Amino acid sequence: MANLHEECGVFGIWSPAEQPLAETVYYGLYALQHRGQEGCGIVVNRDGVFSAHKGLGTVGEVFTPAVLADYPQGSMAVGHVRYGTTGGNSLANCQPIVINHRKGKLALCHNGNLSNAYALREELELKGAIFHGTSDTEIIAYLITQSRLSAPSIQAAVSRTMDRLDGAFSLVMMSSAKLIAVRDPYGFRPLCYGKTEDGSYVVASESCALTAVGAEFIRDVAPGELIVIDEMGIHSDTSHCGSRKRAGCVFEYIYFARPDSVVDGISVHGARKMAGRLLAKRHPVEADLVVGVPDSGLDAALGYAQEAGIPYGQGMIKNKYIGRTFISPGQGNRVNQVKIKLSAIAEEVAGKRIVLIDDSIVRGTTSKKIVTLLREAGAKEIHMRISSPPFVSPCYYGTDVDSKEHLIACHHTVEEIADIIGADSLGYLAADDLRQMTGALSCCHACFGGEYPTPVPECIAKDRFERPLSERPPKKKK
C-alpha cells in the first residue's frame, strides 16, 4: 500500500450507431477508478455536438443517475479519472479538456506526465497562449490545435504534436468525426483497445475496463502508435514507433494496474506472484504465516507463501468503502485514512511469526502503522518483505514523487528503516529481480536507481505552474 500517486485512467468508445454511451463510459471509468479519485469527466459526441460533464470526486459521486440521464445518445464518447501529477485538484484541471476551434471540436484525455511541460508552456505563453488550468494536458491541447491550422487532418496535427512532446502520454481524444488513441514512444503508461459484439471499438488504460463493458481485448497500443477510429474502420500510424527505447513503467506491475489486467502481454497478477516468489528466495525467514497488505500486497504474498512453503492467511481486513490511501492529498489525510482503512484479525495473527508483504515503502508512515496494527493484535514477530526495490529517485512520468526529500530509503539504511517502522526484519526485492518479474519486456526502473530514459526536467515540482512568482525559474526573454 504505497504512498504513491499515479495520474489517470482514460477511456474512449466509438459506436457504429447512436446509443447511450455515457453509461458505457461510466462503467469503464468505474473499472479504472483505482487510477484516480480526485476528479472525473465524460464527453459524449452526437453528430458533432459535444455534451460534457465533469467534477471533483469519484465516478459514483460525480455521475449520479440524474446526471447520466441528461446525456444524449451518441456515436462516440471519452472519459477520464484523475489524480493530478501536474497541477492542483481543481475543476479547471479535470478532464476531458474540451476545445472549440475553427477547425472543429476536440475532447482530450491524458494519462502520464510530460517531462518538458515547463519549457513548452513557457514557449506557448510567449506566443500569447492563455491557459485556464495548470495541468500539462492543456499544453497538449494547445499544440494540437496550433498544428491543426496547417495540418491536412486532425491525425496529422496529433502526429506533429507527438514530435514536440517528451515523457509519458497515453491519450484518448475525440474530434467531431474520429476517435484517436496515442501512446508515447517510450510506452510509459498502458493503453489498449478491444471490440464489442455490436461492433463498437473501445480504448482504455487497462484491459480490465474493456472486460467491464463487454469488449473483447484485441491488443495493446504499441509505444509510439497513433490509432484512428472512424466510419471507415480502424487505422494505425506507426511512424513514431521505435523512435525511442521502450520504457514501460515497471510500477504498473508492482502497484498501479489492477491485478486482473494484462499490460503489454504480461498478467499483472502473474507478475506480482512472481515478485513474491523471488522475494522468498532472496529473503527467506522462519515464520508461521504469510500475510499480504490489502490489496496490492496480496498477489505477492501468495507467491511468497507458495515458494516458501509457509501457510498463506488473511491477517488483515480492508474497509472496501475506503479508496486507495495514496489518492487523498496531504500527509495528514493519508495517515488518518490508514487508521480506518485496515484492521488486523487477531485470531489469525496472535502469537505467530508473520511475514508481511507489501508493494513498496515510500515515506514509511503507512508501513509503521500497519506493523503497529499487527503488534496490537498479538503478532509475535513481524518480518516485512517488499515486492519492489527501495524507492530512491523521483519519478517524472506520472507519479507525484518529485524529490528525494520524503523518500525514506534516501536517508536510511534497510536496518534503520526496519527500526523506524517497527519490523523485526526487512527485505526488498532486488533490482535484478525486476527483469525476471517482467520477462523480456523493457521497463523504466528510474525510481529505483535514477537512470532516466528522458532528460531530467528543468522544473519538476507538481505545483510548478501554481507556485509564487518568487519561487519560479526565470522566464526566457523574447
d(CA 118, CA 139) in angstroms, rounded, equals 9
**Strand 226-230, strand 201-204: pairing:** unpaired
- What pLDDT was estimated at residue 469? 47
> What number is the average pLDDT over the span 393-420?
89
Angle of CA points 236, 240, 244, to nearest 5°: 135
Percent of the chain with pLDDT over 90: 78
Which contiguous run of DSSP H or E holds residue 216?
strand 216-220
SS3 360: coil
> What number is the average pLDDT over the span 415-441?
95
Q: For residues 15 and 117, is the Cβ–Cβ distance under 8 A?
A: no
Q: Which residues contact residue 282 at a Cβ distance below 8 angstroms, ignoring those fewer than 6 apart? A: 427, 429, 430, 433
- What pLDDT was estimated at residue 409? 96
- Model confidence at 367: pLDDT above 70: yes
Q: Which long-range contacts (CB under 8 A, 24 or more apart) does 312-315 make?
A: 313/289, 313/348, 313/349, 314/345, 314/348, 315/289, 315/291, 315/344, 315/345, 315/348, 315/349, 315/354, 315/356, 315/374
Among 8, 40, 208, 443, which one carries the catalytic annotation? 8
pLDDT one-digit tens code per residue, 28-77: 999 999 999 999 999 999 999 999 999 999 999 999 999 999 999 999 99
**Residue 163 Cα to chain centre, angstroms:** 23
- What pLDDT was estimated at residue 1? 46
- What pLDDT was estimated at residue 4? 57
Residue with cell 489469525: 348
The type of residue at 203 is: V
Q: Name the pLDDT band for 103 (thresholds 50, 70, 90).
A: confident
- What pLDDT was estimated at residue 399? 76
Q: Which residues contact residue 212 at a Cβ distance below 8 angstroms, ignoring those fewer than 6 apart? A: 27, 28, 30, 31
Which contiguous run of DSSP H or E holds residue 365?
helix 365-376
The three three-digit cell numbers of residue 473, written as one number = 525559474
- Model confidence at 164: pLDDT above 70: yes
pLDDT one-digit tens code per residue, 188-218: 999 999 999 999 999 999 999 999 999 999 9
d(CA 196, CA 211) in angstroms, rounded, equals 10
For residues 206, 208, 210, 211, the Cα torsion angle rounded to the nearest 10 degrees is 170
> What number is the average pLDDT over the span 154-178?
97
The rounded mean pLDDT for the chain is: 90
Annotated catalytic residue 447:
no
d(CA 259, CA 263) in angstroms, rounded, equals 10
The type of residue at 342 is: L
Residue with cell 498463506: 312
- pTM: predicted TM-score of the whole model, two decimal places: 0.90
d(CA 300, CA 318) in angstroms, rounded, equals 17
Instruction: Identify the bridge partners of residue 10 per DSSP, sorted by sequence position.
Output: 80
pLDDT one-digit tens code per residue, 328-357: 445 455 445 666 789 999 999 999 999 999
- Model confidence at 326: pLDDT above 50: no
pLDDT one-digit tens code per residue, 116-161: 999 999 999 998 888 888 889 999 999 999 999 999 999 999 999 9
